[in-house]
């Protein structure tokens, strides 16, 4: 592709795609990848906590710049290591507006279909920050652009009964995941999860901590589900994370419940690290039952 075509493609990309491209480049450097390494969409989507579609488009931006090459039936391959980009080149949505959107949605002040101007009025934010937040949530599978005008949430507001049914479903699939004969969890992933959970417990709680908490929580449960080796369990958990993301951004259960959640996760990780999956599955069941009970109060 010519340099002119590459610049045209970059200018037509969304803020989310530009940000994901920068974050993929960061991962390439953090993992010390060398030319010839495979860049798998599913793996990147899981690590970046977004859906595969924007990841694919971000990889296409790297391909347009000559750093990545698409090989038939083999996916994307790293051709050369791209230089790191400044974060300012792809501004992120701040967490305060994500929490505000979640709260407005829970309180019924933001309908299933809405316009950017309405959200600007409700949050008191400028168009740029509102659009960045909406683009972020679009990439996470929470909402989508409507044909012609405005935005639309994928799912209706979840009531107490829907949340209880979600936990009942997860009791089935997450314990089954741990007991799967093919269950395999990388030790590096367990170590990383432990570090992040301990940091969450030691960091003073503020309202925007709910975003970090949920994304860590979602990665924990998705990682365990994916370790089952069963693609249907993994996909079901991915969908559950999408359904519960917005409501959890507006955390209602206080820092005490955060400590309980992190401690129980760490206990499960300890057992999995020791290969005691039977006990880990029992602990997961107890953990989900406790969480289900907490939301019903």
User: Domain limits of the chain?
Assistant: 3-78, 95-153, 160-295
| Topology alike, domains 3-78 and 160-295 | no
pLDDT in tens, 199-216: 999 999 888 899 889 989
Specify the CATH class of 95-153 in words. Answer: mainly alpha
* Residue recorded with tokens 């020791």: 274
pLDDT at 8 over 50: no
DSSP string across 233-293: HHHHHHHHHHHHHHHHHS--SHHHHHHHHHHHHHHHHHHHHTT-HHHHHHHHHHHHHHHHH
Residue 241: exposure state from Cβ atoms within 10 A (0-12, 13-18, ≥19): buried
Helix (H) or strand (E) holding 68: strand 68-71
Mean pLDDT of 212-236: 92
Q: What is the pLDDT of residue 18?
A: 74
Q: What is the pLDDT of residue 14?
A: 60
Close Cβ partners of 12 (under 8 Å, ≥ 6 residues apart):
none
Mean pLDDT of 126-140: 86
**pTM of structure:** 0.67
3 state SS of 122: helix
Top-confidence residue, 197 or 31: 197
Strand-pairing partners, residue 39, are 76
pLDDT in tens, 158-169: 777 888 899 999
DSSP string across 157-191: PP-HHHHHHHHHHHHHHHHHHHT-TT----HHHHH
Q: What is the pLDDT of residue 266?
A: 97
Which band of pLDDT confidence, cut at 50, 70 and 90, is reported for residue 71?
confident
pLDDT in tens, 237-254: 998 998 888 888 988 888
Residue 69 and residue 77 in contact, taking contact as beta carbons nearer than 8 Å: yes
Q: What is the pLDDT of residue 269?
A: 97
* Six token digits for residue 143: 């909402």
Residue 53 phi/psi, 5-degree rounding, is -60, -50
The C-alpha atoms of residue 294 and residue 297 are separated, in whole angstroms, by: 6
Q: Under CATH, what is the fold of the domain 3-78? A: Arc Repressor Mutant, subunit A (1.10.10)
Mean pLDDT of 192-198: 92
Mean pLDDT of 117-121: 93
State the Cα angle at 141 between 167 and 73, rounded to 5°.
110
* Residue recorded with tokens 């959640």: 261
The C-alpha atoms of residue 205 and residue 244 are separated, in whole angstroms, by: 20
The C-alpha atoms of residue 127 and residue 209 are separated, in whole angstroms, by: 24
* Residue recorded with tokens 């340099």: 3
Q: What is the pLDDT of residue 5?
A: 41
**Number of helices (H), then strands (E), in the chain:** 13, 6
Q: What is the pLDDT of residue 6?
A: 46
3 state SS of 76: strand
Which band of pLDDT confidence, cut at 50, 70 and 90, is reported for residue 90?
very low
The pLDDT > 90 percentage for the chain reads 41
The C-alpha atoms of residue 170 and residue 149 are separated, in whole angstroms, by: 36
Q: Under CATH, what is the fold of the domain 160-295? A: 1.20.120
Q: Alpha carbon of 278 to those of 83, 95, 151, 264: distances in Å?
A: 46, 38, 45, 15
């Amino acid at each position: 592709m010519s340099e002119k075509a590459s610049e045209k493609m970059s200018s037509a990309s969304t803020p989310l795609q530009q940000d994901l491209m920068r974050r993929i480049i960061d991962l390439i450097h953090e993992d010390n990848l060398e030319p010839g390494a495979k860049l798998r969409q599913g793996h990147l989507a899981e690590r970046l906590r977004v859906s595969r579609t924007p990841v694919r488009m971000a990889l296409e931006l790297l391909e347009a710049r000559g750093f990545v090459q698409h090989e038939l039936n083999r996916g994307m391959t790293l051709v050369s290591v791209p230089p790191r980009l400044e974060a300012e080149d792809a501004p992120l949505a701040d967490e305060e507006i994500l929490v505000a959107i979640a709260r407005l949605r829970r309180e019924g002040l933001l309908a299933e279909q809405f316009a950017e101007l309405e959200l600007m009025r409700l949050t008191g934010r400028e168009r740029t920050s509102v659009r960045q937040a909406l683009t972020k949530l679009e990439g996470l599978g929470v909402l989508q652009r409507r044909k012609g005008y405005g935005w639309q949430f994928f799912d209706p507001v979840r009531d107490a009964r829907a949340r209880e049914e979600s936990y009942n479903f997860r009791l089935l699939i997450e314990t089954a995941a741990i007991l799967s004969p093919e269950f395999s969890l990388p030790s590096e992933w367990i170590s990383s999860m432990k570090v992040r959970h301990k940091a969450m417990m030691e960091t003073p709680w503020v309202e925007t901590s709910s975003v970090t908490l949920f994304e860590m929580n979602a990665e924990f449960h998705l990682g365990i589900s994916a370790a089952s080796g069963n693609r249907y369990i993994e996909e079901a958990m991915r969908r559950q994370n999408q359904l519960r993301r917005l409501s959890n951004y507006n955390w209602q259960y206080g820092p005490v419940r955060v400590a309980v959640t992190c401690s129980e996760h760490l206990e499960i990780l300890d057992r999995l690290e020791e290969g005691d999956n039977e006990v880990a599955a029992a602990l997961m069941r107890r953990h989900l039952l406790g969480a289900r009970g907490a939301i019903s109060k």
